[in-house]
Structure 1
Amino acid sequence: MKRVYLSLLLGLLTLGSCSKYLDIKPKGFTIPEYIKDYQLLLNSSSLIASTPGYPVFLTDDLYSGDRNDVQSGARYDYYSYLKKQLYSFAHGAVLEDGQTDTYWETAYSRIFTYNVIINNILKASDGTDIQKRRIWAEALIGRAFEYLNLVNMYGAHYNVKTASTDLGVPMVLAEDVNASYERVSVQAVYDQVALDVNDALPYLNEVQANKFQAMRSVGFSFLSRSHLYQGNYKEALSNAKQALALNDNLIDYSLYTNKDKTTWGRVCLKTDDLVEFPDLRTSPERIWAKKGTSSDGAFNAEFYASKDLIQTYANDLPADAVDKRYELFFCRDRASFGPNEVKFPGRVLFAPYVDFNMGFGSAELFLIAAECEARLGDATAAVAYLNMLRASRIENYSPLVVNDARKVLQITLDERRRELPFMASHRLIDLKRLAVTGDLKKTIQHPLEDEMFEMESTDLRMILPVPPKVLSLNPEIPQYER
């Protein structure tokens, strides 16, 4: 396979708050010496952020506004070049020459930092072996998280028949910016992710020192997600159960309502409108906090829900019940974010103004457990997981009673869509994943005034291309033809 240089993967970036140690230089860099310095690296603001969310513009969950839409933030003409390329299902590159791919570059920048920690912490001049192993393990989890995201954006979805030959991403396990690295297979990336997480698990704390620390439940959550993506349902279920045993908290959404004339804080307690809906810092559902980035990823009032997504919230809803996710986080027909009301009859604007967690949370684990139970044929167990989650999300809820595992599976897949829209690229990954499993192959439609952009969910355009900056200096790197 062709090779690519780490300095190009990183876009020759300086790593922000870690620049004291981690300026990208042609020859070498300073390695931290003490435990506290490694801990500072691990706690840096650049590492608590997640990847940008702009891949949602490839999904079936959203519609753009018109070119001169009444809701200015949702106007198609206000979208970046990248978002327009994705929304219109453009072939080839989605970035202009010289434009930064924030997903790729920030992920590899964080991987560089994790590699510095992983490859050097055990040689720190102070600290106990337990302290060093704990920091080492947390960095392994962080690196694995970045690679699982990267391979699912820039590679084909995992297919046991083709994963060993499908193009993954360059695998960087050292901190040498001048070394060259192959674009390895999807299988190789998943193998490394599994190795990192399993190596880390014995050394992770069981109690979090802070909300951004990877602890034992994060390892189980991670394995649950990665096994689900691979179709290893028994393993995904086992790890989901172990993670839920450590945190099965769910927020009761029926306690919350909306208030007008504001943005942040518009979702608040019914009994005290000064108490905002829990965010990634305060949510009891949080297992590992990852903050969404503002770079091409702040989606408040930026697009409308697709008709398809809106219908999903009505599916399997008991009579007289209210799905609070739809009520709280979307604006129907109108929005009041300030002194002037904006009206958009017949449309539904996504505008939660909540800083959601982009890492791991208990709700996803309930969904993974339900899906795996259904796929393994236990409809009763699957429905039990669904009812626990739905009771916390739907006001005036009546429990589901379904005995057919295939029907329960479909409800579960709909529930994933209702629970996780526009967050952490879950829907894009699910569209690719379900095309592989055969559960869903569909035509994705994006309207724009009198135009309609269409793409099949099996199309290679569902895979993000290697950034132009990397290709310009590595024209022979293998690519997907999109």
Structure 2
Amino acid sequence: MRDRRMRCFILILWLPGAVSCGKFLDVVAPGSKIEASKIYEDNTTAMMALYSIYGSMFNQGASPAKIARYTGLCSDELKLTWSSDDDGLYSNNISTGNVYVTGMWNTGYLYIRDANDVYWGCAGAEKLDPLIRKQLMAEALFIRAYWLFYLTNLYGDIPLPVTTDVQVNALLPRSLQRDVYQQIISDLLTVQNELGDNYIGPDCVSPSSERTRPNKAAATALLARVYLFMGRYEDAAAQASTIIDMTDTYALVPLDQVFLKNSTEAIWQLMPGTPNVTKINTTEGNEFIINVPPKYKTQQAISNALLGAFGQYDQRKKSWINSFTDRSVAPAITYYFPYKYKVRIGDDLKEYSMIFRLAEMYLIRAECRAQLGEIAAALADLNMIRQRAGLPVLSADQQDKYTLLNAILKERQVEFFTEQGHRWFDLKRMGAIDTVMTIETPAKGGGIWNATKRLWPIPKEEIVQDPNLYQNPGYP
């Protein structure tokens, strides 16, 4: 979180997003010492500074696959395929020096720092094209909001860096989660005003069919999620409805098409850089598909709890789960693994990592409507997702508010498994984590579940370096 490394020379990636009118002119960073350096005197290098963040987000220590893996092991989604691979995540006994938890913290704050650099660097860059300047600043705020959301939901109260002042950021105390959320909301409302509905190309101006650069809808999707987590149900439903109503751009698609690149269900996706020398389509496909015996490679499989959560006729189990039988041991063992992404390695780029998709908007609105007592309307949204999965619709005469909320939690479990930490966050915010993990943690060999484990520890090295930080309860 502390060094201010600026990436100047990177692969020109790709990225399509959106553009509109805004008010990013004459902004001055409070307490910031950043100057309009040479990188922000040129449109191309300024854009490259932003694109490098997306490139790192695709495959570094906080990649979509890493978020899904770490939270999946902590919750009831995933299990280890080789017992010696436990690093504390699976057993819910994470140490303050855990390399993965520390890496997630450091990487998340690295992206926030780089986003702040882009935002304030562009703010002081008079030579940039005004449209490009506005677009880059909006996307930088979106990136900051996105990573603040993940960090606060993993660690609780967190430092809140909004400037590029190294000395100030190095000594930040933890801000209350409610204040972090308010900063996220402020950033996203600004982004909504600055970005347009279209997706744009690498030049920040031209329209594009690629959905790999955030547009107004991406900001709206994250804002809907934040409002939901805060219990602002009317606001969350309104944001979700905005996207659901954009039927010319977004639509639910058959299960086998959801995770394809530029799927019409996609609101925002991440793609690999160009040239794609690793031949990886998505980190999820590369890391989750099991094709060798577990003793040869650290891997994880779908847990018994998740496997048993699917109904008899749920087509998601058939379409989004696959199996590998390890015949190198006797008796042979069959492992089930996430198969939402079908490509592990391949020259033909067919899939992009899904960050936000339309199904989440339906289930956000369903939950909000249930909380507001609008049972029939909530069921209509829930049944949209159930029908696609081949399940029968639920009728209003069988539901009350709490029965329906439980049905929505179950639907989120089987719809969003191993996607972006949904299950771990849902268990916490919907008050189900202690009930579920009291059973799961002992079964995973972790002993008695402790409610303090719902938050990850602040990395011990951060507390050593910043005397204004303190550790989460339950950790030494």
Pairwise CA distance, 1:129: 3.2
- Partner residue of 1:311? 308
Whether the 8 Å contact between 2:252 and 2:265 is mirrored in structure 1 is yes
- Correspondence for 1:325 among 295, 300, 316: 316
How many Å separate the matches in 2 of 1:17 and 1:444?
50
Find out whether 1:191 has 2:182 as its counterpart.
yes
Closer/same/farther in 2, CA of residues 34 and 384 from structure 1, 3 Å limit:
same
Counterpart CA distance in 2 for 1:280 and 1:91 is 35
For residues 350-369 of structure 1, the aligned pairs below 5 Å read 350-354=338-342, 357-369=353-365
Distance 2:39 2:127 in 1: 14
On the 8 A contact 1:299/1:351 being kept in 2, the answer is: yes
Which whole-Å deviations, capped at 9, do the CAs of 1:6-52 have from their partners, x for residues lacking one? 42xx5x877596599xxxxx999765212332222222212556453
Distance between the aligned counterparts of 2:338 and 2:330, measured in 1?
16
Structure 2 residue 408 is matched with structure 1 residue 412 = yes
Conserved 8 A contact 2:155-2:455: yes
Give per-residue Cα distances to partners, 1:283-331, cap 9 Å, x unaligned: 2211111369859x933333333333223212xx6xxxx3222112323
1:60 deviates by 1.6
Question: Who is 2:380 aligned against?
Answer: 384
Structure richer in strand, relative to its length: 1
* Residues 1:250 and 2:252 aligned together: yes
Query: Residue 178 of structure 1 aligns with which residue?
Result: 167
Q: Which of 42, 53, 56 pairs up with 1:46?
A: 56
2:393 corresponds in structure 1 to 399
| CA contact 1:147–1:189 (8 Å) conserved in 2 | yes
**Cα distance change, pair 365–374 in 1 and its aligned pair in 2 (3 A):** same
Identity of aligned residues (%): 24
Do 2:87 and 2:94's aligned partners in 1 also have CA atoms closer than 8 Å? no
Which ranges of structure 1 fall in alignment gaps of 5 or more residues?
1-5, 21-25, 65-73, 156-167, 257-276
Q: What code does the residue aligned with 2:289 have?
A: N
Deviation at 1:136, TM superposition (A): 1.2
Structure 1: distance between partners of 2:254 and 2:410: 20
Structure 1 residue 250, shift from structure 2 partner: 1.4
Q: Mark the runs of 5 or more structure 2 residues left unpaired by the alignment.
A: 13-32, 201-209, 273-281, 291-298, 343-350
Q: Aligned to 1:299, which of 272, 288, 306? A: 288
Is the 8 Å Cα contact of residues 153 and 463 (structure 1) preserved in structure 2? yes
Q: Judging changes above 3 Å, is the alpha-carbon distance between structure 1 residues 248 and 342 closer, same or farther for their aligned structure 2 residues?
A: farther
Instruction: Indicate yes or no: 2:471 matched with 1:479.
Output: yes
Q: Is 1:35 matched with 2:28?
A: no
Distance, in Å, in 2 between the alignment partners of 1:149 and 1:135 is 21
Change in 2 beyond 3 A, CA 1:85/1:15: farther
1:95 is aligned to 98
Displacement after TM superposition at 1:94 (Å): 5.0
- CA 363–19 in structure 1, closer or farther in 2 if over 3 Å, else same: closer
Q: Find the counterpart in structure 2 of residue 452 from structure 1.
A: 445
* Superposed CA RMSD: 3.5
Alignment correspondent of 1:290: 270
Alpha-carbon distance between aligned partners in 1 of 2:338 and 2:425, rounded to the nearest angstrom: 20
Counterparts of 1:430 and 1:41 in 2: how far apart (Å)?
34
Tell me which residue corresponds to 2:348: none
Deviation track 1:38-96 (CA, whole Å, cap 9, x = no partner) reads: 222222212556453213221022232xxxxxxxxx2122x2xxx52111221642516
On the 8 A contact 2:87/2:98 being kept in 1, the answer is no
**What does residue 135 of structure 1 align with?**
136
Measured against aligned partners, the alpha-carbon deviations of 1:259-293 in whole angstroms (never above 9, x if no partner) come to xxxxxxxxxxxxxxxxxx55363322111113698
My pick for the range that moved more, 463-472 or 200-209, is: 463-472
Q: What's 1:71 paired with?
A: none
TM-score, normalised by the number of residues in structure 2: 0.75
Compute the displacement of 1:420 (Å): 0.9
> Cα 1:27–1:147, aligned 2, differ >3 Å: closer, same or farther?
closer
What is the total number of aligned residue pairs between the two structures?
A: 404
> 1:312 aligns to what SS in structure 2?
coil
Identify the residue that residue 277 of structure 2 maps to in structure 1.
Answer: none
Does the Cα contact within 8 Å between 1:35 and 1:121 map onto a contact in 2?
no
CA distance in 1, matches of 2:134, 2:428: 36
SS at match of 2:322: strand
Which whole-Å CA distance do the structure 2 matches of 1:245 and 1:126 have between them? 39
Contact 1:224 1:236 in 2 (8 A): yes
**Do residues 281 (structure 1) and 261 (structure 2) align?**
yes
Deviation at 1:455, TM superposition (A): 4.8
With over 3 angstroms needed to count, the CA separation of the structure-2 counterparts of 1:388 and 1:100, relative to structure 1, is closer
SS of 1:288's partner is strand
Check 1:386–1:425 CA distance in 2 against 1; reply closer, same or farther (3 A cut). Answer: same
